[in-house]
Each structure stands twice: as structure tokens, then as C-alpha cells.
Amino acid sequence: MDEENSPSWMDESEMPVSSWDRSSQEDSAEPEVLISAIEHYSYCPRQCALIHVEQIYEENVFTVRGTLVHERVHSEENTPLRGVPVVRSMPLWSSALRLRGKADLVELGPEGPYPVEYKSGRRRGQHADLQLCAQALCLEEMFDVPVSLGAVYYFATRSRQEVGFDEPLRQRTRQAIEQVRSLLVNNALPPPCNDARCRNCSLKEACLPDVLQNRARLRGFQGALFRVWDRDQPGAEPDIEEG
Ligand code: SF4
């Protein structure tokens, strides 16, 4: 973005995009939280832990669609939208919250930064709102200006939902950040939710939500793991219920 297009609240000479202080981050005992982890946690704490603690990631049709949407948004030029200057794929951070990530797009209008998050599906609950609010908290710290509004664009419905960053949403976002950090500090893996959320979850195979909820079946698997059996002896096969 050239200087003559920059809004009055932004001093171009102090654009903070390159001022991420990694050395101070590495010195601290508190682990950083990735902004994307907040949406994962809001959807399912176990999913968040599988990805960010266990480093497990699996693709399914929904994650591939999401990747394609983000590649498309990030690859376009930073040309103004409806006359408003924009920055795509903007690095974000908050030293105060030990938070780091990226905004799909930030509109730099006269009222201040306005983050826009793109989702390939349709709106399901407030998970994306928390992620967007975390982006707003970073932008406020980076530019030292208030950020009161942003938007989530849902490709499935071609609709843009404006989100107001009121105090209850800010509190829920800060709470989610600390809950994610607690998972990281404690290497914790919460129990499975084993409900409708699992149907479209790409981590179902790694998570095994129905097996873990069925204690009798789980005990059968655990017992079979350490049982020695002779395949030549009739009836010696482990007694495991088929799933
Ligand atoms: S399969 Fe269900 S419990 Fe497991 S991570 Fe996915 S949503 Fe969470």
C-alpha cells in the first residue's frame, strides 16, 4: 500500500508488519497460542489438542475446500475493495496475549482496521467469531487503535456476516486463548465429544470418539493389546468386538 492511500490512523513509517519480536517470545515460559487454535478449541477442545498438542492433521473434503478458499483469497492482489485499501494475508500478533497468526484480509478504512475472515462452508455457531475477535485484539495492540467491527465471509452462502467485538465476545475470546494455552502447557488431551460435531471432523480416524466413549469396548482393545495368543490353537484369537 502506498503512502497516499494509507488511512490517517496509520503512520506508514510505523507499519508494524516486520516488528515481530521473536527473541522476546522465545525467552518467555508461556507458550504462544496460534489464532487458528481458538476456532479449533471452540469447535471441540479435543480437536484443538489433537492438532496443536499431538500435531495430528488429516484432510477431508471440508479441510481441502477451506485450503482452496484461503489460497484463493491470499493469492489475489492487494487492490482496494470498494475503494478501501486492503492487506491480504497480514501477519498478526499480540505480545500481551502471546498470540500469533494471520488475517485473511484487513480493510484499512478511515475508521480503523477491519479484519475479514473467509470460510468455505456456512455459518455454524460462533466459532469463527472468536477467531476474528482474536485478530481484532492483535490489530488493536499492533496499531494502537480500537477495532470494534469485522466480518466473516461464508463462501457456501456467499454471505458476509458482520461481527461486533463487544465485551462478552472479547471475554470469551480471552478465555479461549487461556484454555488453549493450558492444553499446551499440560500436554492435555480432553475426552471426545462424540456428538454431531464428529460427523464432519477430519480427525475422526485419529480420535476414535465412539470407541473411547464405549468403556467396555475400550477395555477389550486394551486387554487384547497385551495378550499373547497362539494362532494354531482353536479359539485362541483375541475376543474383540468388531466396530
Ligand atoms: S472426532 Fe469428534 S471428538 Fe474427535 S476431535 Fe473430531 S469433533 Fe472432536
Provide the pLDDT for residue 233: 67
CATH number assigned to the domain covering 3-13+29-196: 3.90.320.10
Provide the pLDDT for residue 58: 83
CB neighbour class for 1 (10 Å; exposed up to 12, middle 13-18, buried from 19): middle
Q: pLDDT tens digit string along 76-122? A: 788 888 889 999 999 999 999 999 999 999 999 999 999 999 998 88
pLDDT tops 90 at residue 234: no
Percent of the chain with pLDDT over 70: 81
Nearest CA to ligand 1 atom 2: 198
Best of 40, 52, 124, 193 to mutate for ligand 1, by most ligand atoms within 8 A of CB? Answer: 193
Which residues in the chain belong to E strands, given as ranges? 33-34, 86-94, 99-109, 112-119, 149-154, 159-164
Q: What distance in angstroms lies between residue 200's CA and the mean position of ligand 1's atoms?
A: 9
pLDDT averaged over every residue in the chain: 85
Q: What's the rounded Cα separation, in Å, for the pair 119 and 69? A: 7
Best of 39, 57, 59, 198 to mutate for ligand 1, by most ligand atoms within 8 A of CB? Answer: 198
pLDDT tops 80 at residue 33: yes
Nearest CA to ligand 1 atom 4: 207
**pTM of the full predicted structure?**
0.82
With cut-offs at 50, 70 and 90, classify the pLDDT of residue 18.
very low
pLDDT tops 70 at residue 229: no
pLDDT tops 60 at residue 198: yes
Domain-wise residue ranges, the chain:
3-13+29-196, 208-243
